[in-house]
Every structure is written in C-alpha cells, then in structure tokens.
C-alpha cells in the first residue's frame, strides 16, 4: 500500500538517493560525466537538501511503500514567472520516482497530492520546467493537462540547456 505524505528531515538522505538514481538514469545518457558531476555537486548534496527543507514557502511530499522511499515532489512559491502568469502560482520544482518504480502511477499519486496542496493554497496556476529532451516526463505532464507557455535556459554543469515551461490551471 503506497502512502503519500509530507517528508521528514530524517528521510532526506533516502530521498537524495532516489533523486540521484532517477536523475542518473534520465540524464546521464545525454550528458557528459563532467557536467553530471558538477550538477550533483551543486544540487544534490545532503547539505543542500537540508537547506532546502528549511526554506519557507516550500513543501516536500514523498511516496512510500512501508518505510521505503519510492519518489518525491518538491513544491515552492516564487515569482519567477510573475510576468507571464501573475502572482498566484506554485512551482513544481522537482519530481523524481525511483527508476525501478517508474510507470506504476507513483508520479501520478504525487501529482494528485501536489494539485490538492495547490488548491489548498488557492493559487491559480501550477507551473514547471522540463528539459526539452526529456520526452517521458513531457508525456507525463501532457497527460496531466500541462501546456507549454515559454522556455528558459538552465545550466547543466557547463552546458546551457533549454527547459520548456509548462503550466496548468489549478
């Protein structure tokens, strides 16, 4: 029985492991080892996860089977897309499912929870950035009704890459 709930501080290490496995599988085939390692160093350390955990205006939900972490979603309020979507937005910043558990609707469970949380905040839009070549994730977001509204450049290690910006009415 899969449970979705807010993450605890002592679960961050397990979440980091899931994030790295999932990120590695999705992005390593298309990027240099050097860029992957720079990205991990700058983004995926336990210290960084702990810092992010304490940030206000964020929420972290995870999916568990018994006590095993299968995936997580991080949400945050910010004004990055204010010019395009206005003030009432929530960013779906990270969504990662363990590679051995993808395609089992765990991402969908986390998306449901994210939308429920957004409704509770009474925001108008949920938005996110997805790599232009991450076709599986794009397909997933399209199923969830997300539409493209722009793009931004994202530095992956030393490589500037394009992220599509997707939005969905809450």
Ligand X SMILES: CC(C)(COP(=O)(O)OP(=O)(O)OC[C@H]1O[C@@H](n2cnc3c(N)ncnc32)[C@H](O)[C@@H]1OP(=O)(O)O)[C@@H](O)C(=O)NCCC(=O)NCCS
Binding site for ligand X (CB under 6 A): 22, 26, 95-97, 102-108, 130, 134, 136-137, 139-140, 143
Distance in angstroms (rounded) separating the CA atoms of residues 59 and 2:
19
Smallest gap from residue 159 Cβ to ligand X (A) = 17
Min separation Cβ 53 and ligand X, Å: 19
- Rounded distance between C-alpha atoms, residue 72 and residue 23, angstroms: 13
Pick the closest to residue 61 from 135, 8, 6, 118 (CA basis).
Answer: 6
Asked if 4 and 113 count as a contact pair (C-beta separation under 8 A), the reply is yes
User: Whole-number minimum distance, CB 98 to ligand X, in Å?
Assistant: 8
Output the smallest distance, CB 75 to ligand X, in A: 13
Residue nearest ligand X, CB atom distance: 107
Q: What are phi and psi of 61, to 5 degrees?
A: -115, 145
Smaller CB separation from ligand X, 7 or 97 = 97
Q: Which is nearer to ligand X, 102 or 170 (CB)?
A: 102
**Closer to ligand X at the Cβ: 18 or 54?**
18
Residue 88 or 134: the one with the smaller Cβ distance to ligand X is: 134
Q: How far is CA 92 from the centre of its chain?
A: 6
CA 161, CA 170: separation in Å to the nearest integer?
28
From CA 79, how far away is CA 90, in angstroms rounded? 9
Is the Cβ of residue 76 or residue 104 nearer to ligand X in the bound state? 104
Minimum distance from residue 43 beta carbon to ligand X (Å) = 13
């Amino acid at each position: 029985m899969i449970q979705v709930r807010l993450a605890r501080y002592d679960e961050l290490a397990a979440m980091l492991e899931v994030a790295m496995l999932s990120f590695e599988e999705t992005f390593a085939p298309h990027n240099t080892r050097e860029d992957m390692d720079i990205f991990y160093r700058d983004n995926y350390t336990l210290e960084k996860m702990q810092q992010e955990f304490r940030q206000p205006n964020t929420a972290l939900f995870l999916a568990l089977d018994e006590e095993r972490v299968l995936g997580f979603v991080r949400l945050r309020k910010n004004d990055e897309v204010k010019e395009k979507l206005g003030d009432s937005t929530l960013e779906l910043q990270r969504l990662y499912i363990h590679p051995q558990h993808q395609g089992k609707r765990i991402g969908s469970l986390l998306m449901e929870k994210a939308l429920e949380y957004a409704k509770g905040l009474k925001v108008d839009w949920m938005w996110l950035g997805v790599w232009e070549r991450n076709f599986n994730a794009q397909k997933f977001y399209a199923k969830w009704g997300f539409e493209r509204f722009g793009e931004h450049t994202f530095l992956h290690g030393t490589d500037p890459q394009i992220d599509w910006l997707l939005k969905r009415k809450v």
